[in-house]
Chains A and B, each alone.
Chain A
Amino acid sequence: MSTSLARGWETVIGLETHAQLSTRSKIFSGASTAFGAPPNTQASVIDLALPGVLPVLNRGAVERAIRFGLAIGAKINPRSIFARKNYFYPDLPKNYQISQYEIPVVQGGTVHIRVGDAEKVVTLTRAHLEEDAGKSLHEDFHGMSGIDLNRAGTPLLEIVSEPELRSSAEAVAYAKTLHALVRWIGICDGNMQEGSFRCDANVSVRRIGDPKLGTRCEIKNLNSFRFLERAIEYEITRQIDLLEDGGRVVQETRLYDPDRDETRPMRSKEDAQDYRYFPDPDLLPLEIQPAWIEEVKATMPELPEARKRRYETELLFFPEDAEALTSSIEMSEYFEDVLKELKKRTDIKYGVQSPDQANAKSAANLIINDLVQLMNRTETPFAESRVSPVQMAGLLARSFDGTLSSKLTREVLARMWAVAEQPASRSDPNLADLLIEEGGLKQISDAGAIEKIIDEVLAANAKSVEEFRAGKDKAFNALVGQAMKATKGKANPAQVNEILKKKLASG
């Protein structure tokens, strides 16, 4: 599958992911964390590291770390330590970063990923709390750089995986799963463009079967899944080429350049780093009592993995559908809301399947296949869907009771999407019915009416009838097509099939 395997090499990847926590204020100061403010207007005296300031830890940041620990089944350390990581950098105002080193808040845990048909459980090493740095702006200020410290002190959860990923595809699947998870549990907005979720990839290669790990390189600050994949791919090839030519991989920090699609060594990290970690004397040990963990546990949503399993076992979904529906909290919550709305309705008739299963599958299909397409086309997030779950349930009800064929259902959905640009339509719970009425889009299920149309079609298409009788099955489809065309697609396709078959057999 990958070229490295074909060349006899195994890839070993571990990811360090920085998730910006969705707190209102910074991790150690009361400054706002909102993105995009004018430079240095959200940097408090603490974030600027003015003389005499002290950090005070934000409870909200710790709570989010606990949520994450619970979500991945990790150990939440009853006592963890904040340390100073000392290095000089102009966007690091104290010239040390407050982070966790020896004892992090979250230890262990697992994340389930899926690559193609294969499922894999990835072990996490740890997750720890730390502060973000500011930004250096490289626009030219008379040959100087500008320092904006608005981002300095934004809370981060650094999530470290074991080096268990074996391909760029696995790395991307892991990153996507993690991304969905942190958004799912509400601890990070996941906005990769704004840097709220970014990955460092530790990549090494070794001969297949070699028990020893190769020398690794760390590629920093990958802020899209595509860059993550490209950077790892480039790095794998670079390392294999190097080793096959008799060279050696040098352990270093590299940056990915998307314009050139290559990684290169980071110049600012030239000298051997010696971070001189030591416990921050401004911060006593962080203690998390069991009662606090219980409190947080009570507010945890059903997790994506559990929900996926539930869809598979209770609703008999295919794994890929269950996967798709739980790929984001917004889509999943939308789907759940549609199910709830359907349950409330009394105007639905069901066939042989249990109402839940029938409802769920149709709803799932319409959401995954059609609604998503409309959303993607207009770049609308689920939370702002123009068709509300109530309206979606109203539409599905007309599909279940035979008013709409599946084709007409899609047609009505598209119209709902279009008219819902007007706020009044957006809030109308009976929008589907309204549009069906307005557009005359009701499915024709009256046998008499359909028979009449088919008679006309048969009369007008004698050639196709002849071909059918001569054994050409295709001609049958042509006749169905004509019948549907004659009704502008509104005839019940099953009935058309049935009546047409009967007519041709008897004729």
Chain B
Amino acid sequence: MALTLDDVARIAHLARIEITDAEARRTLSQLNDIFALIAKMQAVDTAGVEPMAHPLGGAQRLRPDEASETIDRDAALRNAPAQQDGLFLVPKVIE
């Protein structure tokens, strides 16, 4: 099964990556090569196999409910592309 240009446009939008038509065409052929490689795995019979989400089994470790972190807002905001009054600024958010 091959991807189409529409697929590339759709996933680029979902991933919020602007892509030109020329890039999309180039990407399309690369992605299809990669998916041809991936197809090898799809033919494998995996009936009854438990998916492996993680190399090590076991349970999630929890932490105690303690407000233990000290916050350095200036350090956090230091890398912000745009900020004012302790807020990160972005183009207007529409709900």
Q: Using Cβ atoms and an 8 Å threshold, which residues of chain A touch B13?
A: 271
Interface size class of A (residues with CB under 8 A): 35 or more
- Which one of B16, B66, B71 contacts A24 once the chains associate, using CB atoms below 8 Å? B66
Q: Once the chains bind, are B60 and A138 in contact (CB under 8 Å)?
A: no
Cβ-based interface call for A347 (8 A): no
Cβ-based interface call for A38 (8 A): yes
- Which one of B53, B57, B60, B92 contacts A145 once the chains associate, using CB atoms below 8 Å? B92
Interface size class of B (residues with CB under 8 A): 35 or more
One of B18-26, B30-38, B39-47, B82-90 at the interface = B82-90
Binary interface profile of A, 20-43, with partner B (CB < 8 Å = 1, else 0)? 000111000111110000111111
Q: Once the chains bind, are B87 and A137 in contact (CB under 8 Å)?
A: yes
- Which one of B62, B64, B88 contacts A146 once the chains associate, using CB atoms below 8 Å? B88
Q: Using Cβ atoms and an 8 Å threshold, which residues of chain B touch A29?
A: 69
Q: Once the chains bind, are A59 and B62 in contact (CB under 8 Å)?
A: yes
List CB contacts (< 8 Å) of A32-73 with chain B.
32-33, 38-45, 48, 50, 56-62
Q: Once the chains bind, are A141 and B84 in contact (CB under 8 Å)?
A: yes
User: How far does the alpha carbon of A40 sit from the alpha carbon of B88 in the complex, in Å?
Assistant: 9
- Which one of A40, A274, A279, A285 contacts B87 once the chains associate, using CB atoms below 8 Å? A40
- Which one of A32, A91, A267, A287 contacts B60 once the chains associate, using CB atoms below 8 Å? A287
- Which one of B14, B62, B68, B89 contacts A274 once the chains associate, using CB atoms below 8 Å? B14
Q: Once the chains bind, are B94 and A284 in contact (CB under 8 Å)?
A: no
Quick one: closest A residue to B92, CB to CB?
Answer: A145
Quick one: closest A residue to B69, CB to CB?
Answer: A30
Q: Using Cβ atoms and an 8 Å threshold, which residues of chain A touch B59?
A: 284-287
Q: Once the chains bind, are B76 and A48 in contact (CB under 8 Å)?
A: yes
Q: Once the chains bind, are A266 and B95 in contact (CB under 8 Å)?
A: yes
User: Dominant SS at the A interface?
Assistant: loop
Quick one: closest B residue to A90, CB to CB?
Answer: B90
Cβ-based interface call for A324 (8 A): no
Cβ-based interface call for A255 (8 A): yes
Count A-B contacts at CB 8 Å: 128
In angstroms, how far is the closest chain B Cβ from the Cβ of A338?
33
Q: Once the chains bind, are B84 and A146 in contact (CB under 8 Å)?
A: yes
User: How far does the alpha carbon of A493 sit from the alpha carbon of B36 in the complex, in Å?
Assistant: 95
In angstroms, how far is the closest chain A Cβ from the Cβ of B58?
6
Cβ-based interface call for A318 (8 A): no
Quick one: closest A residue to B84, CB to CB?
Answer: A141
Q: Once the chains bind, are B69 and A285 in contact (CB under 8 Å)?
A: no
Q: Using Cβ atoms and an 8 Å threshold, which residues of chain A touch B63?
A: 30, 56-59
User: How far does the alpha carbon of A58 sit from the alpha carbon of B63 in the complex, in Å?
Assistant: 5
Q: Using Cβ atoms and an 8 Å threshold, which residues of chain B touch A439?
A: none
Q: Once the chains bind, are A31 and B69 in contact (CB under 8 Å)?
A: yes
Q: Once the chains bind, are B68 and A144 in contact (CB under 8 Å)?
A: no
Q: Once the chains bind, are B86 and A40 in contact (CB under 8 Å)?
A: yes
In angstroms, how far is the closest chain A Cβ from the Cβ of B66?
6
Binary interface profile of A, 71-92, with partner B (CB < 8 Å = 1, else 0)? 0000000000010000010110
User: How far does the alpha carbon of A88 sit from the alpha carbon of B84 in the complex, in Å?
Assistant: 22
Q: Once the chains bind, are A145 and B93 in contact (CB under 8 Å)?
A: yes
- Which one of A39, A136, A284 contacts B85 once the chains associate, using CB atoms below 8 Å? A39
Binary interface profile of B, 49-86, with partner A (CB < 8 Å = 1, else 0)? 00001101111111111111101010011000010111
Task: Report which residue of B57, B59, B77, B95 has the largest number of chain A beta carbons within 10 angstroms of its beta carbon.
Answer: B95
Binary interface profile of A, 133-151, with partner B (CB < 8 Å = 1, else 0)? 0001110010111111100
Q: Once the chains bind, are B61 and A56 in contact (CB under 8 Å)?
A: yes
Cβ-based interface call for A281 (8 A): yes
Q: Using Cβ atoms and an 8 Å threshold, which residues of chain B touch A149?
A: 88
Q: Using Cβ atoms and an 8 Å threshold, which residues of chain A touch B94?
A: 267-268
Q: Using Cβ atoms and an 8 Å threshold, which residues of chain B touch A147?
A: 87-90
Binary interface profile of A, 195-230, with partner B (CB < 8 Å = 1, else 0)? 000000000000000000000000000000000000
In angstroms, how far is the closest chain A Cβ from the Cβ of B71?
6
A25-B68, A41-B71, A147-B90 known; A284 vs B60 contact (CB < 8 Å): yes
Cβ-based interface call for A488 (8 A): no
Q: Once the chains bind, are A59 and B69 in contact (CB under 8 Å)?
A: no
- Having A40-B71, A40-B86, A43-B71, one finds 5 other A-B pairs with CB under 8 Å, namely A40-B88, A48-B76, A136-B93, A144-B90, A267-B94
Residues of B in contact with A (beta carbons under 8 Å apart): 13-14, 16, 53-54, 56-69, 71, 73, 76-77, 82, 84-95
Can you name 29 A-B pairs with beta carbons within 8 Å?
Answer: A24-B65, A24-B66, A24-B67, A25-B66, A25-B67, A25-B69, A39-B85, A39-B87, A40-B76, A40-B87, A40-B88, A43-B76, A60-B64, A82-B60, A90-B88, A137-B87, A138-B92, A138-B93, A141-B89, A143-B91, A144-B90, A144-B92, A146-B87, A147-B87, A149-B88, A281-B54, A284-B57, A284-B61, A286-B60
